[in-house]
Amino acid sequence: MSTLKADTIQSTSGGAATLTKQNGAKAFTFSGDDASSFAVNLNISSGIDEGTGDYIHNFTNAFSTSVDEGQGTGATCAGGARGARIATSDTTSTAIGIQTENFSDGANADSRHSFVICGDLA
């Protein structure tokens, strides 16, 4: 049996290594108290707070298509009384729009949130 140990694996051009025969997460975040702070993240370069419950997260590496077209995505909020959804009007191959809202009345509400995206990078 062989053991491979590495701290960083890159493609020959220095970018992200391509996974074959599997599809791992290509972007994820768990936001901090606002859209510009991240508790943990992968492939997120910055975040913008667009207003109450309205956030945009920019990717470090672009996806091959818009993340709402053929990419596997999921979003959720911290706390049981709120939900998160992808805002397709703000979502492209280089950014994702997230809206957070109260379950009780559907009104936008600021909330810590997380999402994960599986798909192909450009």
* Residue pLDDT, tens place only, 61-95: 999 888 887 677 888 887 778 899 888 888 999 99
* Residue pLDDT, tens place only, 3-23: 888 888 888 888 877 767 667
Residue type, 18: T
Mean pLDDT computed over 38-55: 88
Yes or no: say if 96 and 86 are a contact pair by the CB < 8 Å rule. Answer: yes
At residue 15, the pLDDT reads: 81
At residue 96, the pLDDT reads: 93
Percentage helix, strand, coil for the chain under 3-state DSSP, each rounded to 5: 0, 45, 50
